[in-house]
């Protein structure tokens, strides 16, 4: 079985869009502020831009492209699926009660992902696995790690599903208890949607350094993702403690994002120029 994607002409548009994806002026302004060490929160779109362009972690729809093994799920999708999961569980609690002792009966099945507004969604993950005849997230999936930035109630942490380690690694720069609960919910969503076996993966709440200020959480999450992306097979989980969350490191990260922004802006300019030139040729041919 091959997991290498066969590309067709109609596939060119999403790949081109990935190449010419740029930050908006407002988003670039935010990154500029952090580069100059001015307190500014990292938005989810900035996070996904950084994951793809700076950290070489790609959206899950690119599964099977070349040797890519590190993928991310869009944080907007994660938030939406968590809301739907809570609704699903609340509904089960009201409809599946034991008549004898009023104890809630929950079966770990039937939940499925539905939010498909982004190409980097859980729905896309299930689809690409199905197209490659893979029923569950196991070693045969060729995915090394799946990165899930959790934006929840004003805080951001990074959840990483490591297939080789068979672990969910939760890296949180303030060790937030609500996010611990969210991680357990995401684990259950994977099980209940039949993406993995119940006891297939354990959750590790990874001990990390603590951020210095409230605004830094999203940027710290990206530093954690980079640490794991560049880790070696013999890297231990406790090595996460060595990841520096200094303001200088956040500024360097912002600088790298700005550099990629300039590269993408140039690519976008070339694309626009070629598009206009092609349109002019077509009009000339028709004249």
212 neighbors 247 (Cβ within 8 angstroms): yes
C-alpha span between 48 and 147 (Å, rounded): 10
Phi, psi of 189, deg, nearest 5: -60, -40
pLDDT at 34: 98
pLDDT at 264: 94
Q: Tell me yes or no: is domain 9-286 CATH 1.10.1040.10.
A: no
152 neighbors 82 (Cβ within 8 angstroms): yes
C-alpha span between 116 and 120 (Å, rounded): 8
pLDDT at 280: 47
Residue 37, sorted as left (phi over 0), alpha (psi -120 to 50) or beta, turns out to be: left
pLDDT at 124: 95
- One pLDDT digit (tens) per residue for the chain, 287 residues: 456 677 666 677 788 888 889 999 999 999 999 999 999 999 999 999 999 999 999 999 999 888 899 999 999 999 999 999 999 998 877 766 554 444 444 455 689 999 988 889 999 999 999 988 888 888 778 899 999 999 999 999 999 999 999 999 999 999 999 999 999 999 999 999 999 988 889 999 999 999 999 999 999 999 999 999 999 989 999 999 999 999 999 999 999 999 999 999 999 888 877 777 655 444 445 44
CA-nearest of 164, 155, 7, 1 to 70 is 164
Give one DSSP letter per residue of 71-82, joined into a string.
EE--HHHHHHHH
SS3 86: helix
To the question of pTM greater than 0.75 for the whole model, the response is yes
CA-nearest of 162, 127, 129, 124 to 146 is 162
| End-to-end Cα separation, the chain, in angstroms | 51
């Amino acid at each position: 079985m091959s997991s290498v994607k066969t590309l067709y002409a109609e596939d060119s548009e999403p790949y081109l869009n990935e190449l010419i994806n740029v930050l908006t002026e407002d988003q670039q302004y935010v990154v500029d502020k952090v580069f100059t060490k001015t307190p500014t929160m990292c938005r989810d779109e900035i996070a996904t831009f950084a994951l793809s362009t700076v950290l070489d972690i790609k959206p899950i729809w690119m599964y099977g492209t070349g040797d890519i093994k590190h993928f991310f799920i869009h944080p907007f999708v994660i938030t939406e699926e968590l809301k739907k999961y809570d609704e699903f569980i609340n509904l089960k609690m009201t409809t599946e009660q034991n008549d004898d002792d009023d104890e809630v009966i929950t079966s770990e099945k039937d939940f499925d992902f539905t939010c498909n507004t982004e190409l980097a969604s859980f729905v896309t993950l299930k689809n690409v696995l199905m197209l490659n005849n893979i029923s569950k997230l196991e070693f045969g999936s060729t995915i090394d790690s799946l990165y899930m930035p959790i934006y929840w109630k004003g805080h951001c942490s990074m959840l990483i599903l490591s297939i080789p380690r068979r672990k969910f690694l939760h890296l949180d720069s303030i060790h937030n208890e609500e996010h611990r609960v969210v991680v357990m919910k995401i684990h259950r969503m994977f099980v209940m949607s039949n993406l993995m076996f119940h006891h297939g993966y354990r959750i590790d709440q990874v001990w990390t350094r603590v951020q210095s200020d409230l605004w830094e959480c999203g940027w710290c999450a990206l530093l954690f993702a980079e640490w794991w992306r560049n880790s070696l097979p013999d890297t231990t989980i406790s090595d996460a403690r060595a990841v520096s969350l200094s303001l200088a490191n956040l500024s360097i990260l912002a600088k790298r994002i700005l550099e990629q922004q300039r590269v993408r802006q140039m690519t976008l300019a070339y694309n626009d120029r070629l598009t206009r030139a092609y349109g002019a040729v077509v009009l000339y041919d028709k004249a």
